Amino acid sequence: MNRKFLALVIGTILFPLFGKTQDFGSHDKMPFMESRSYLKKANFIEDSTYTNWDLVFQRMNWKVDPAIRAISGEITSYFKPLIANFSSVKFDLKDNMTVDSVKYHVASKNFTHESDKITIDFQSALSPNTLDSISVWYHGVPTSTGFGSFEATNTPLSNPIMWTLSEPYGAMEWWPCKQSLQDKIDSIEVEVTCPEGNKAASNGKLIQEKTVNGKTFARWRHNYPIATYLVAIAVTNYAAFSDTLTFEDGRKMPILNYVYPSYLEVAKTKSTNIRNIMTLYNSLIGDYPFADEKYGHAQFGWGGGMEHQTMSFMYNLNFRLVAHEMAHQWFGDCITLSSWHNIWLNEGFATFLEGLTRKYLLDSTSWYSWRISNLSNIVSKPDGSVFVEDTTSVLRIFDSRLTYDKGAYLLRMLQWELGDSAFFNGLRSYFNDPKIKYGFASQEDFVTHMEAAGDTSLTEFFNDWYYGQGYPTYQISHYTDFSDNGKYKLMISQTTSDPSVDFFPMHVPLRVWQDGNSQDVRLYQTTNPQTFELSEKPDSIQFDPELWLISKNSMVTDAPEIVSNNNWKVFPNPTTAELHVQLPNSERANSISVFNLKGQKLIQSDQPVSNKINVRNLADGFYIIQIKSNGTTYRRQFVKN
């Protein structure tokens, strides 16, 4: 899903207020400022009995009129019990919806509908691994929580439009379903009847479309496993146009677009971008996973996008919005998160890939803008974990700063740590793992593949960056060490923004300039502070010029060592509490001062009792101590940790 733009009110939905730009295509599932209390706490716990049966196929037969906020339907579910003594089955459906009847083997069946569950008991236990089916007829006016799970409103030209967006917990608001992140429906058939003059968009391939007696009927068939929240329909007076993508092996796939008639000519100009984005993703990750059906878009009334499987629902077809939603077909749809705690497996991945489209398909300014914009959002607060602790908070699940931007930058930093080859090999291996492809993946599944690709442990990395909070600020100083035969050295120190992580071991990217030429180097900081020896004094050093790392206010200084007289000492260095000064000929200090690397005086002692100064109240980092004695000034860098 996509996020980040200014508030719009359409129907009953209050759209995002976290926007970086006014471009409604800037991202997807846009976390937003929502006034309704259900967005703050959405209590849903997956039924513990759902692991007892496998949902094999569902046929959804829906009747809707986009001018009327209501739905009626028949849902036939084919399933297999996975345990012995399987004696009842449950479906999720909000209590405000009316269940008209339930039929099992043609006969009517008793049921209960309470606590948002339809429970159907069988007279005798069903046999394990035997295909069976049951049908539920229902109708009602759905509530609309989350991002607008069921909406009937108007297009910009006031044509009625009806659409659904079930993520994360909204499917049960508008149809009887198994709302699950444990069991995908192996395949579905969606049948929609609506008033003549409308088209119905849905998942998979359009098998049949006809109009009889003022009613239009559309049948869509999708032959891939699909998570419940990705099933969707949208109905309005769409104009349809299609394009074709040719794969490297010669296969051809339709790209089908259902758009408002007023947007048709603009939409057609976007076809080249759509093809280019998909071609890039095919090369980076692996071929589009639903290539023998279609990829498509359906325009809808929410101000972002939602990655419904094989047909993303979109506010428009702007480049960034298309790039984000299309990326979800790989990460989110084909491979779906197994818990909302790990939503970054969907949203962080899509945001990261959207960034790569800037790098490879747009210009350097757009690519730089993506990096600097995301970093600015991430470090706008000192805390926050990518891991979602409270999955009852929809706002927290889809937090722009943490789930999207920090999740995307976690991948960028992982690419930096592992290198391009290992990183993309790991990403492709994760995507092609037969145990999770077209199924559900956990955080551990992803980490396992990346560790194998990089031949390394990533426990520390994910403990710090995924479960931990905050980010480092680097202080980097290069200087001549007269106490070590005049060798030129560089010292890296870091402070962290949140106490959950006291140190981030990372490769630090530097660009070293000498005589107009530059060389990029990686220095692996494993202790804090850490000193490295340079072969010669550089003209200047840049920290992280390509913006690989999450950090804030990091700086590089050419630190002075001694203005006059080398025959003196400052110890211990680094220090935690006090600095002691030993001057030549047992001189006494007249004054001792401490400056930060910006030259700001932090401590001044004009009448020192002895040649020492208390620095325990300083924050960890680099500082300059200055001693004046009998007309001589001494300066040296020290580290407080």
Q: Tell me, what's the pLDDT at 262?
A: 97
The model's confidence at residue 5, banded by pLDDT at 50, 70 and 90, is very low
Q: Does an H or E element contain 255, and which?
A: strand 252-259
Give yes or no for residue 30 having a pLDDT over 50. Answer: no
Task: Please tell me the least confidently modeled range out of 95-99, 301-305, 309-313, 402-406.
Answer: 301-305
What per-residue confidence (pLDDT) applies to 538? 92
CA distance 333 to 186: 13
Per DSSP, which regions of 269-383 are E strands?
295-299, 305-306, 311-314, 336-337
Q: Token match 């048709």: residue?
A: 264
- The neighbour count for residue 75, using CB atoms within 10 Å, is 19
Per-residue model confidence as pLDDT tens digits over 275-297: 999 999 999 999 999 999 999 99
Q: What pLDDT score does 7 carry?
A: 30
Q: What pLDDT, on a 0 to 100 scale, did the predictor assign at position 626? A: 85
b/e sequence 79-114, b meaning 16+ C-beta within 10 Å: bbbeeeebeebbbbbbeebebeebebeeeebebebe
Q: How far is CA 295 from CA 232, 428, 526, in A?
A: 14, 20, 46
Flag whether pLDDT at 227 surpasses 60: yes
The pLDDT assigned to 172 comes to 97
Residue 600 is predicted with a pLDDT of 77
pLDDT of residue 599: 67
Mean pLDDT, residues 428-453: 98
pLDDT of residue 629: 85
| Topology of domain 472-558, CATH | Immunoglobulin-like (2.60.40)
Q: Which amino acid is at 508?
A: V
Structure-token pair, residue 219: 């049948």
Q: Is the pLDDT of residue 43 over 50?
A: yes
% of the chain exceeding 70 in pLDDT: 91
Per-residue pLDDT for 271 more than 70?
yes
Report pLDDT for 16. 32
Please write the tens of the pLDDT for every residue from 140-195: 999 998 888 999 999 999 999 999 999 999 999 999 999 999 999 999 999 999 99
In the predicted structure, residue 12 carries a pLDDT above the cut 70: no
CATH topology of domain 56-235: Immunoglobulin-like (2.60.40)
Instruction: Please give the pLDDT value at position 483.
Output: 66
**What number is the average pLDDT over the span 525-547?**
93
Q: Is residue 33 pLDDT above 70, yes or no?
A: no
* Mean pLDDT to the nearest integer, 611-618: 90
Which segment of 89-93, 104-108, 262-266, 376-380 scores lowest on mean pLDDT?
Answer: 104-108
Helix, strand, coil content of the chain in percent (nearest 5): 25, 35, 40
Residue 28's alpha-carbon distances to 151, 398, 613, in angstroms, are 18, 10, 55
C-beta of residue 53 within 8 angstroms of C-beta of residue 82? yes
Query: What is the predicted pLDDT for the residue at 26?
Result: 37
d(C-alpha 431, C-alpha 332), whole Å: 11
Residues of the chain with CATH 2.60.40.2470: 569-640
Q: How far apart are CA 301 and CA 314, in angstroms?
A: 8
Residues 252-260 have a mean pLDDT of 98
Question: Does the pLDDT at position 350 exceed 70?
Answer: yes
CATH 2.60.40.1910 intervals, the chain: 472-558
Three-state DSSP string of 579-623: EEEECHHHCCCCEEEEECCCCCEEEEECCCCCCEEECCCCCCEEE
Q: How confident is the model at residue 19 (pLDDT cuts 50, 70, 90)?
A: very low
Structural fold of domain 569-640? Immunoglobulin-like (2.60.40)
Whole-number CA gyration radius for the chain: 30
pLDDT at 562: 39
Whether the per-residue pLDDT at 125 is higher than 50: the answer is yes
Tell me, what's the pLDDT at 420? Answer: 98
- Using CA atoms, how far apart are residues 416 and 454, in angstroms rounded to an integer? 11
Quick one: three-class SS letters along 191-218?
Answer: EEEEECCCEEECCCEEEEEEEECCEEEE
Mean pLDDT of 460-469: 98
Structure pTM? 0.86
| pLDDT of 258 higher than 90 | yes
* CB-based contact 440:337 (threshold 8 Å): yes
Mean pLDDT of the chain: 90
Q: Has residue 243 got a pLDDT over 60?
A: yes
> Which residues belong to CATH 2.60.40.1730 in the chain?
56-235
Select the more confidently predicted residue: 38 or 114: 114
Q: What is the pLDDT of residues 467-524, one digit of tens each?
A: 999 999 999 999 887 667 778 999 999 999 999 999 999 999 999 999 889 999 999 9
Q: How far apart are CA 639 and CA 624, in angstroms?
A: 9
